[in-house]
Amino acid sequence: MLFRTNPSLGVPIYLQLMEQVKHAIETGALRPGEQLPGIRPLAEELVMNPNTVAKAYRELEHEGVIELRHGAGAFVSAQARPKKTAEAVRAAQPVIAATVKQLRSRGLTDEEIRRLFEAELASLSRAGGKRD
Amino acid sequence: MLWYKSWLETRWRFLIGLVVLICSALATVFTYPRVLELLPLVPAHVSGELGRKIMESAALAREYRGYVWSQWFSQNLPQTWILFAVLIGTGGSFTSSGAALFTLSLPASRNRMFGTRVIAGLIELFAMVFIPSLFISLFSPGIGQSYGIANALVHSACLFIGGSVFFSLATLLSTEFSDIWRPMLISLAAAAVLSFLERALQFGVFHVIHGESYFRRGSLPWIGLLGTAAVSIAFLYGAAMNIARRDF
Amino acid sequence: MTDAIIETADLHKSYNGVEALRGLNLSVPTGSICGFLGRNGAGKTTTIKVLLGMSRPSSGQARVFGLRADEQEASVEIRRRVGFVSEEKDLYDYMTVEEMIRFTAAFFPKWRAELEQRYLRKFELPSQQKVKALSRGTRTKLALLLALCRGAELLILDEPTSGLDPAVAEEVLQALVTHAGNDEMTIFFSSHQIAEVEQIADHVAIVDRGQIVVTGPLDELRERYRRIQLVFDGDAPDTHFLAPGVVRVQRKGRVLTLLSSAGAEGIVEEARTLNPASVDVMPVTLKEIFLETVAVED
């Protein structure tokens, strides 16, 4: 199973699914032009709401990450955009690693570090970057 | 499918009652020869109420038709049949709590569901009256006697219509109470009390049930039949109203 | 009104002097999976009974498919298009699995025989067993099959996974999501299990003491509700917040914790005027929203 979502986090499930699709593309588990699982089969397999899967797919299409071909299904875009994201993500990894290392050396537990990141992301998503 | 469900819910009560009554009918027929043998032994005059009854029974028993009337249609049949009428009148899935929700979620009106249950019960009860009585007609030649089917039919109808008040009463009470015991006991108690009181009266439910006027004079108890039918219908209407109004 | 498959307006219901519903305003969007959360005795089952015509409201209106639930004929029409699974999953003990299916199918001309076959196999239901001999899990699956195969537009379930082990519960949820969505069924289910509501519902309604206290798309609720934590150098002040959207305030020592249902920015601005040492804005889980909105004192 390629994707797993956790409904108990404070993050909407459709966002989690979007992140996982993007991550799958970055790591090469899903290649450009390759077909994604259908909405209903994926909902059935993950035991989640098909409307949520549909929403994630729509948002991904809006961002240009995937294409929805009427009657045929969802396909990973052939564009360069995912690569750019992949590069940005790769560049970000050492930044995160360094920050986490620093916080740990200050005596913070992993749980505290996770909470700080979540809080920061939540307040950031509130203040800016909200599309609708 | 509602008919099938009503059948499944009442079939054992029905079948057991039918078998019991058929056996009772056959027993009634086949003990007659013995009764005839014993008749001459009955003393000519016995005093008291009991004595009066014994003499009356003996007088009736001399003739086969009288015997069948006094033993079967006035005693064995009504006593057992009323018990089963009450048993079949109580019960059903409106009273058993959980399954009621399933029934109520089906696209059928409450009237239709109730109506099916009532009619199924009445059909079963008529069968339980008529079929055993038919056995008497069919097997009487076996002891050298005869009992006309017309007689059996008329007495069956009287018992059925008159006795239906107890079925209807039990049905009504089952929509008032949530348990099955109170409707049964109250209905049976009503039957017992009425049968006791009516010994002194010239009319009443049991006079209709026994079809006495038909036996003695060949005239059907029309007023009694209409009266009991009306009472039955009133009870059933009340039960239907209760079910229509109820919150489950 | 047009897009709501279930709609109640100021619904009241009293039993024996107890007011079970006190002005319930529920709206369930067509095509959604709507979770109906509430504590025991909050009014979940009563609401469902009113919708299905099993109980009559004391006042107010309830409509399903736009039809009045308290009108006899309309109610029969509603039940032609609804599949229902009760909390106790009681069926007719004396019937076998096969008889229950044939009995139920007789009422629904749109009965889906292919689904019946599929679920008989998938759920491994023993055709000749009497219902009373079935385990709770198997009875639930049978009740679910009977509801799913009717060709219904709306499925109403009262605590569908109560008393089930996690594996069977997951089977039930999976069957529900398989048939949900705009072109299939709307699903309205009451539950205690917040985790399962979060898993499959896209719309939520929380009922408390006979009234809806929270309702809306689940994603929207997750984005709107925030926990705001203020830490002070001295004791936390006992202020009343003027900014709208404050659901609950808790003071403990130097910490002031707020739950806001909307407008977190406005509240944070007002909070900063109190000069806290730190301000934290955190997301809130559905469980927290539930516990905080139903535990609020009058």
pLDDT in tens, B108-157: 999 998 999 999 999 999 999 999 999 989 988 888 888 888 888 998 99
Do C13 and C141 share a structural domain? yes
Strands C154-158 and C82-85: parallel
Write the single-letter amino acid at A44. E
CA distance A86 to chain C (A): 27
A68 and A41 assigned to the same domain? yes
For residue A6, tell me if it sits in a domain: no
Average pLDDT value for chain C: 90
The reply to whether A120 falls in a domain is yes
Q: Give me the number of domains chain B comprises.
A: 1
Neighbours of chain B (3+ CB pairs under 8 A): C
CA nearest neighbour of B105 among A115, C157, C40, A104: C157
Q: Does B248 touch chain C (CB under 8 A)?
A: yes
Asked whether C98 and C42 are in contact (CB, 8 A), the reply is: no
Domain containing B132 equals: 2-28+66-245
Cα distances (Å, whole numbers) of residue B61 to B56, B92, B101, B211: 9, 41, 54, 17
Of B97, B99, B104, the CB nearest to C92: B99
Question: Residue A128: pLDDT above 90?
Answer: no
Which of C217, C238, C272 delimits the end of a domain? C217
Shared domain for C252 and C141, answered yes or no, is no
Q: Which residues pair with C204 in a beta bridge?
A: C35, C216
pLDDT of residue A131: 39
What is the DSSP code string of B178-194? SSSHHHHHHHHHHHHHH
Q: Does B1 touch chain C (CB under 8 A)?
A: yes
The Cα B233–Cα C8 span in angstroms is 39
Question: Which of C202, C220, C272, C291 is the best residue to mutate to test the A interface, defined by the most A CB atoms within 10 Å of its own CB?
Answer: C202
| Shared domain check, C178 and C258 | no
What CATH number did the domain enclosing C124 receive?
3.40.50.300
Say if residue C201 is in the same domain as residue C230: no
* Boundary (domain end) residue, out of C193, C217, C241: C217
What pLDDT is recorded for position C150? Answer: 92
B12–chain C Cβ distance below 8 A for any pair? no
pLDDT of residue B24: 92
Taking CA atoms, B62 is separated from B57, B74, B146, C130, C201, in Å, by 9, 16, 14, 54, 82
Range(s) of the domain holding residue C269: 225-294
- pTM higher than 0.90, yes or no? no
Same domain (yes/no): A36, A69: yes
Residues of chain C positioned with their CB less than 8 A from the CB of A47: 170, 173-174, 177, 199-200
Residue with more model confidence, C110 or A82: C110
User: Which residue, among B203, B182, B210, has the nearest Cα to B95 in the 3D structure?
Assistant: B182
Is the domain of C211 the same as that of C85?
yes
Question: Do residue A74 and residue A30 come from a single domain?
Answer: yes
The alpha carbon of B84 is separated from its chain's Cα centroid by a whole number of angstroms, namely 7
Question: Which of C182, C200, C265 shows the shortest C-beta gap to A126?
Answer: C265
Contact C102 B1 (CB under 8 A): yes
Q: Assess: ipTM above 0.90.
A: no
- Asked if B247 lies within 8 A of C99 by C-beta distance, the reply is no
Give CA–CA dist B85/B163, Å, rounded.
8
Provide, as residue numbers in chain C, all residues whose Cβ is less than 8 Å from the Cβ of B108: 76, 107
Chain B positions in Cβ-Cβ contact with residue C93 (cut-off 8 Å) = 99
**Domain identity same for C239 and C143:** no
pLDDT tens-digit series, residues C69-108: 999 999 999 999 999 999 988 899 889 999 999 999 999 9
- The domain of A26 spans 13-79
Element (H, E) at B210: helix B205-210
User: Which of A44, A52, A118 faces C282 most closely, judged by CB atoms?
Assistant: A118
In this structure, are C192 and C96 located in the same domain?
A: yes
Residues A44 and A100 in one domain: no
Residue A4 lies in a domain: no
Is chain B adjacent to chain A, meaning 3+ CB pairs within 8 angstroms? no
What was the pLDDT predicted at B212?
81
Question: pLDDT tier at C182 (50, 70, 90 boundaries)?
Answer: low
What pLDDT, on the 0 to 100 scale, is given for residue C169? 93
A130 has pLDDT over 50: no
CB contact under 8 A, A122 and C200: no
Contact C180 A50 (CB under 8 A): yes
Of A52 and B56, the one with more pLDDT: A52
The closest of B171, B125, B93, B168 to B13, measured between CA atoms, is B125
What pLDDT does residue C41 have?
86
Domain count, chain C: 2
Q: How many domains does chain A have?
A: 2
Taking each helix axis from N to C terminus, what angle separates B77-89 and B149-176, rounded to the nearest 10 degrees? 40
- Of B217-226, C195-204, C212-221, the range with the lowest mean pLDDT is B217-226
- pLDDT at A81 (0 to 100): 53
Q: Are residues C67 and C182 in the same domain?
A: yes
Minimum mean pLDDT range among A85-94, B118-127, C11-20, C158-167: A85-94
